[in-house]
Amino acid sequence: MSNVAEIFGSKVFNLPTMQERLPKATYESLLKTINEGTALDSKVADVVANAMKDWAIENGCTHYTHWFQPMTGVTAEKHDAFIQPTEDGTVINEFSGKELVMGEPDASSFPSGGLRATFEARGYTAWDPTSFAFIKDNSLCIPTTFLSYTGEVLDKKTPLLRSMDAISKEAKRVLYCFGKNPAKVISYVGPEQEYFLVDKELWKQRKDLLLTGRTLFGAMPAKGQELEDHYFGQIKERVSSFMKEVDEELWRLGVYNKTKHNEVAPAQHEVAPIFSTTNIAADHNQLTMEVLKKVAGRHGLVCLLHEKPYEGINGSGKHNNWSIGTSEGENLLKPGKDPESNTQFLLFLAAVIKAVDDYAEVLRLAVATAGNDHRLGANEAPPAIVSIYLGEQLEAVVEHLVSGTESTEAKAAAYLETGVESLPVLKKDSTDRNRTSPFAFTGNRFEFRMPGAAQSISGINIVINTIVAEALSQFADQLEGVEDVTSKAMEIVIDTLKKHKRIIFNGNGYSDEWVEEAARRGLPNLKTTVDALPYFVSEKSLSLFEKHGVFTRVETETRTDIMLEDYSKAINIEMLTALEMAKQEILPACLEYTKFMVDDVAKKESIGISVPNEKDQAKKLSELTESLIQKISALDAVAEAVPSGLSAVDTATYYKDNALPAMGDLRTVADTLETIVSKEYWPFPTYTDLLYNI
Ligand code: ADP
Ligand code: MG
């Protein structure tokens, strides 16, 4: 393994490389664009493009591509060679400022939610200089946004950048009232990525994993995760060598990969970087998912990013650690030694609490996908009910402020007693862990635990940035022009906490009592994607995104349709895959094994051997196989009756109400059969094979 400091960022056109290769004036002009968002001069772009090209070619590149994030949630790229023909029939390498700044991929094959029907089919990509260009597969990749001919956004990056501007603007207004004037307020994210690994040869034999990313059949293995021996356990050699290669590739790409460990379920793991700005974190998380998949292949493995590859086994999420800070380095969510008298901190804390309570539905729908529906509320992941966990210390502060009681002395830092003199004294964190909370304060940031492992983190952070921007905007409206800012701010804090206290919940989010309690508190419990998504186009949501210039109304509406269509498409593919597997693989296997048993019974009885128990078993097999055929027919009927011409939400509702239950019924019978049919006859690898063979 190479020295990390030496290889880090070696495939990135980052600041040191720019400084080394660009004329001073060009470098400074570009730096100003990156830091302050000033428009880029076309002459500067030409010089940058040329330097980028030379650097890329020296590093083995033949092509360049605008790398963007259409609304599919994965990245897209179209590669063009640098070559330019000359008169003498040879070629030279060329890359102009124009080619760097703008591209025109055909937009017609990307989802637009109907935007293209109304507008032009053309799409444009535009360079995002705040995210560095990098090299992948001998191509220079330039992070870009993706827009339609008339300026409607067709991607996930543009609204994310807009939301970052919105929160910066509103947070600065608030800070200005406190006598501060930072250049920018930046939202940061450190996303923890969970994933499963599975042996590639076994994976190939499972049509469901191959086509849908999750198992549609499979009885529980004899050993699940009850021994809790996998979490943080020793990493197996094959996995470890895979992880090392992932680290190295990502470090070369400038991703701050920091942590890796085994997760709760067998064959489940996690990787996490050091946090960066939401924009870069989103780009890097896309790269991380891509590298995980690619490197897995080289090790004879497949990386599953689906939220619930295995029923009855923990699913995979993506913990979104979010905070805001000034460009000068002040973390606005840092409580300090005495949070109770830290008015500015309390105000920002109150803004997050208010934002999450006011827009719980929007936050919920940002994590709504067909895959994540299997995970949320499944007694292992956060419930579908959004609530905030503050931890003991802040909970006490909130209590004092709301009830108006005297504040107790600021709690002295607590220490852990190990009882062993030679061990260092450990300072206790002021917040404990509450893994059941969807939105937990963890000392200087909030950890949003609902996002699914396969999701782009852009959508989630667009929502968090925008809802917090809105709360801050309302606070700034009240603070501006006020003489005694501190008392006014405290008044706002207390008022906000009183109004929004209901969203705070420090107990067990998995419990049934919480579901009842949340209902009493009037908190929404949007169980599925279909329940949640319509809130995106509620007046409250439309006007929120419009006010902060994040989405136009049309953009919000089209995005809702795209998400609903994604949901329907995912379930449709699952339904057809389940049918195919049941008809072509499971049923024939069951018929064959039943025949074997029935023949055996008949033979034995014909020579007078009495086998009542074996006969019962054969009978049970026959009955279950009959039932299997019946469930196949029922699902077939659902597939044949898929309505056409309905709205996106009605179509999605059809799949939720008809396809999912029928698939569940079919699975139940098939899984029971799996437990009694001979392994030799069973047509594909079982859960034990998949989970314990890496
Ligand atoms: P956990 O203990 O929750 O598993 P990890 O150490 O795996 O935590 O990940 C925590 C993540 O939070 C890391 O990506 C880390 O960089 C990120 N993080 C730390 N401080 C901040 C902050 N101020 N803002 C945003 N993210 C942060
Ligand atoms: Mg975490």
pLDDT digits over 136-168, tens only?
Answer: 999 999 999 998 877 788 899 999 999 999 999
CATH (domain of 237):
3.30.590.10
Whether residue 263 has its Cβ less than 6 Å from ligand 1 = no
Residue 427 has a pLDDT of 62
pLDDT digits over 448-492, tens only?
Answer: 999 999 999 999 999 999 999 999 999 999 999 999 999 999 999
Identify whether 40 is part of a domain. Answer: yes
Residue 416 has a pLDDT of 63
Residue 432 has a pLDDT of 57
CATH (domain of 100):
3.10.20.70
Average pLDDT over residues 280-291: 97
Nearest CA to ligand 1 atom 11: 190
Residue 118 has a pLDDT of 47
Whether residue 259 has its Cβ less than 6 Å from ligand 1 = yes
444 CA: nearest ligand 1 atom:
23
Segments of 310-372 assigned E as strands: 318-326
DSSP 59: T
pLDDT digits over 308-351, tens only?
Answer: 999 999 999 999 999 999 999 999 999 999 999 999 999 999 99
- Pair 129, 263 in one domain: no
Nearest ligand to residue 261 Cα? 1
Q: Report the range of poorest mean pLDDT among 31-45, 401-415, 492-506, 638-652.
A: 401-415
Whether residue 194 has its Cβ less than 6 Å from ligand 1 = no
Element (H, E) at 20: helix 15-21
Q: What percent of the chain has pLDDT over 70?
A: 95
Whether residue 190 has its Cβ less than 6 Å from ligand 1 = yes
Whether residue 274 has its Cβ less than 6 Å from ligand 1 = yes
pLDDT digits over 578-634, tens only?
Answer: 999 999 999 999 999 999 999 999 999 999 999 999 999 999 999 999 999 999 999
Domain end, chosen from 285, 316, 347, is at: 316
* Probe target for ligand 1 pocket from 261, 271, 275, 277, with the most ligand atoms within 8 Å of CB: 275
Distance 447 CA to ligand 2 centre (A): 7
The residue segments making up the domain with residue 629 are: 567-692
* Band of pLDDT at residue 119, cut at 50, 70 and 90: very low
User: What would the 3-class secondary structure string for 618-672 be?
Assistant: HHHHHHHHHHHHHHHHHHHHHHHCCCCCCCHHHHHHHHHHHHHHHHHHHHHHHHH
Identify whether 626 is part of a domain. Answer: yes
Distance 437 CA to ligand 2 centre (A): 11
Residue 687 has a pLDDT of 97
Identify whether 470 is part of a domain. Answer: no
CB-based burial label for 623 (10 Å; 0-12, 13-18, 19+): exposed
Identify whether 277 is part of a domain. Answer: yes
Residue 114 has a pLDDT of 66
Identify whether 251 is part of a domain. Answer: yes
- Pair 13, 80 in one domain: yes
Identify whether 578 is part of a domain. Answer: yes
Number of domains in the chain: 3
Tokens at residue 341, please? Answer: 């008298």
Residue 417 has a pLDDT of 65
pLDDT value at 380 more than 80: no
Nearest CA to ligand 1 atom 17: 190
Give the number of other Cβ atoms within 10 Å of residue 488's Cβ: 17
* Probe target for ligand 1 pocket from 167, 187, 189, 192, with the most ligand atoms within 8 Å of CB: 192
- Pair 677, 611 in one domain: yes
- Pair 95, 232 in one domain: no
Residue 318 has a pLDDT of 96
Is there a contact between 155 and 146 (Cβ–Cβ < 8 Å)?
yes
* Band of pLDDT at residue 680, cut at 50, 70 and 90: very high
Nearest CA to ligand 1 atom 4: 192
Whether residue 210 has its Cβ less than 6 Å from ligand 1 = no
Sign of CA dihedral 19, 23, 25, 29: negative
Full-model pTM: 0.94
- Pair 112, 232 in one domain: no
pLDDT value at 418 more than 80: no
Identify whether 581 is part of a domain. Answer: yes
Nearest ligand to residue 285 Cα? 1
Residue 413 has a pLDDT of 55
Residue 243 has a pLDDT of 95
Distance 105 CA to ligand 2 centre (A): 38
* Band of pLDDT at residue 112, cut at 50, 70 and 90: confident
- Pair 94, 231 in one domain: no
Whether residue 256 has its Cβ less than 6 Å from ligand 1 = no
Residue 639 has a pLDDT of 98
Identify whether 658 is part of a domain. Answer: yes
pLDDT value at 412 more than 60: no
Distance 289 CA to ligand 1 centre (A): 18
333 CA: nearest ligand 1 atom:
23
- Pair 681, 620 in one domain: yes
Average pLDDT, the chain: 92
442 CA: nearest ligand 1 atom:
3
Nearest ligand to residue 321 Cα? 1
Residue 14 has a pLDDT of 96
Average pLDDT over residues 27-44: 88
Whether residue 13 has its Cβ less than 6 Å from ligand 1 = no
Q: What percent of the chain has pLDDT over 90?
A: 81
Distance 558 CA to ligand 2 centre (A): 33
Average pLDDT over residues 182-195: 97
Whether residue 59 has its Cβ less than 6 Å from ligand 1 = no
Whether residue 317 has its Cβ less than 6 Å from ligand 1 = no
- Pair 243, 102 in one domain: no
Residue 431 has a pLDDT of 60
* Band of pLDDT at residue 37, cut at 50, 70 and 90: confident
Nearest ligand to residue 446 Cα? 1
Q: Which residues of 356-366 are buried (b: 16+ CB within 10 A; e: fewer)?
A: bbbbbbbbbbb
Whether residue 500 has its Cβ less than 6 Å from ligand 1 = no
Nearest Cα to Cα of residue 370 among 593, 216, 590: 216
122 strand-pairing partners? 106
Average pLDDT over residues 176-203: 97
Nearest ligand to residue 275 Cα? 1
Q: Report the range of poorest mean pLDDT among 44-48, 217-221, 290-294, 424-428.
A: 424-428
Nearest ligand to residue 232 Cα? 1
Domain end, chosen from 291, 316, 341, is at: 316
pLDDT digits over 521-577, tens only?
Answer: 999 999 999 999 999 999 999 999 999 999 999 999 999 999 999 999 999 999 999
- Pair 40, 91 in one domain: yes
* Band of pLDDT at residue 499, cut at 50, 70 and 90: very high
Domain end, chosen from 294, 316, 338, is at: 316
* 81/61 Cα distance (integer angstroms): 9
191 CA: nearest ligand 1 atom:
14
* 449/492 Cα distance (integer angstroms): 28
- Pair 150, 223 in one domain: no
CATH (domain of 579):
1.20.120.1560
- Pair 50, 142 in one domain: yes
- Pair 139, 201 in one domain: no
* 630/644 Cα distance (integer angstroms): 25
